[in-house]
Structure 1
Amino acid sequence: MSSVLVISGSPSNPSRTERLGEHVAGRLAAAGRDVDHLAVRALPADSLLGADLDDPAIADAVAEVAAADGVVLATPTYKAAYSGLLKAFLDLLPQFGFAGKAVLPLATGGSVAHVLAIDYALRPVVHSLGARHVVQSFFLLDKRLAVAGEQLEIHPDSTRPLADVIQQFDKALDGIPHDTALGRTA
């Protein structure tokens, strides 16, 4: 069974981005994957910002990445880029910290003007970390996500495309080519 680590890079609590990560984790667990969720904001701030790899919490988080077969990166979009919190964590990983892994980049944001932040800011970092396969990224507008109690509600127009990228990622974990609604022609 492949293992997946969902990394949420939102500094907010509660966070729609973190709930999105939990949603994806649930979908992957239902598909038979062993899934863990790391909220970067829960790591000790001084150790994270000071790049203290000897801090047990930081060392454990880096080890979780190393042990995972796949990584889901969920980040809010700030100033046309992924969160600085996520950047601080990714900077702690070894040069090829994603080697051999499938990676699914996800982002949330308030405007479609930020949709390319995934491809122009986050994707190059993921590639530089040596990911085996980076699947189609997905951007969700904040207004298409609502939190009701503990439940995340995703706008119906975004449900199918999100399910497709999760399916792409699930297949990428096994090295299986995929055909999704995103790539089909009518």
Structure 2
Amino acid sequence: MTTTVVAGNPKPGSRTLDAATRLAEALTGSAPDHVVDVIELGAGLLGWGDEKVTAAVDTVASSDLVVFASPTFKATYTGVLKLFLDQFATGEGLEGVTAVPLMLGAGPAHAMAPDLLLKPVLVELGATCPLPGLYLIDSTYTEDTRITDYVERWMPVLG
């Protein structure tokens, strides 16, 4: 099984990337095969045909399991993640990919954002999202048991 983490944070090497990597490891028992820190794709995200962006899209599209992660910005996922997701064809760009939406925020006010905002976009692009999205508090996710609890509860669905 090929596992990829996609982190859509405007800051490279972010807590979002760390949390997504932790979740992917907890779900699979090993480090992800690929990591796409979207901000590192730079200005190539603003158009079509950039080699680095195309390679990242191909990597994600050929993965079996992808954790898509974003911090909560203005009550939704980031624009940089949206720019990356816009590179995938509607209905088929993520066909065959099992996607897990993950978002981080400062407090519980946006706890439904992964399911209400990120998951529908992933499904529109053809991904299968059998699990509910996971929302983590960005200041406590390394200390609390939310990732472990989530994996224990939902791992049977992934098989």
Q: Which residue matches 1:158?
A: 146
CA apart distance, 1:165: 6.1
User: Could you report, residue by residue, the CA deviation over 1:4-53 in whole angstroms, capped at 9, with x for unpaired residues?
Assistant: 1110111113421111122234335535x8621110011022x202x222
* Counterparts of 2:145 and 2:128, CA distance in 1: 30
Query: Counterpart of 1:150?
Result: none
**Structure 1 unaligned residues grouped into runs of 5+:** 146-153, 177-186
Match of 2:45 in 1: 48
Paired letter, 2:99: V
* AA partner of residue 21 (structure 2): E
Q: How many angstroms apart in 2 are the aligned matches of 1:166 and 1:23? A: 15
> Which residue of the partner structure matches residue 9 of structure 2?
10
For the 8 Å contact 2:61–2:97, the answer to whether it is kept is no
Q: Distance in 1 between matches of 2:5 and 2:153?
A: 14
* Cα-Cα RMSD: 2.1
Select the residue among 75, 80, 90 that pairs with 2:75.
Answer: 80
Contact 2:99 2:129 in 1 (8 A): yes
- TM-aligned CA distance change 1:165 to 1:56, over 3 Å: farther
Report which of the two structures shows the higher radius of gyration computed on alpha carbons: 1
The CA distance in 2 between the partners of 1:131 and 1:35, in whole Å, is: 19
Report deviation, 1:133. Answer: 3.4
Q: Secondary structure at the match of 1:133?
A: coil
After superposition, the Cα gap between the structure-2 partners of 1:63 and 1:135, relative to the gap in structure 1 and judged at 3 Å, is same
Any unmatched runs of 5+ in structure 2?
A: none
Matches within 5 A, 1:9-158: 9-28=8-27, 30-31=29-30, 35-45=33-43, 47-49=44-46, 51-53=47-49, 55-95=50-90, 96-145=92-141, 154-158=142-146
Q: Is the 8 A contact 2:3 2:64 kept in 1?
A: yes
**What is the CA distance between 1:126 and its match in structure 2?**
1.0
Q: Which amino acid aligns with 1:38?
A: V
CA distance in 2 between partners of 1:29 and 1:127 (Å):
22
Distance 1:120 1:157, change over 3 A: same
Structure 1 stretches of 4+ with a deviation exceeding 4 A read none
1:47-93 Cα distance to aligned partner (Å, 9 max, x none): 202x222x210110111022111211011000110111111100011
The structure richer in strand per residue is 1
Equivalenced residues, count: 158
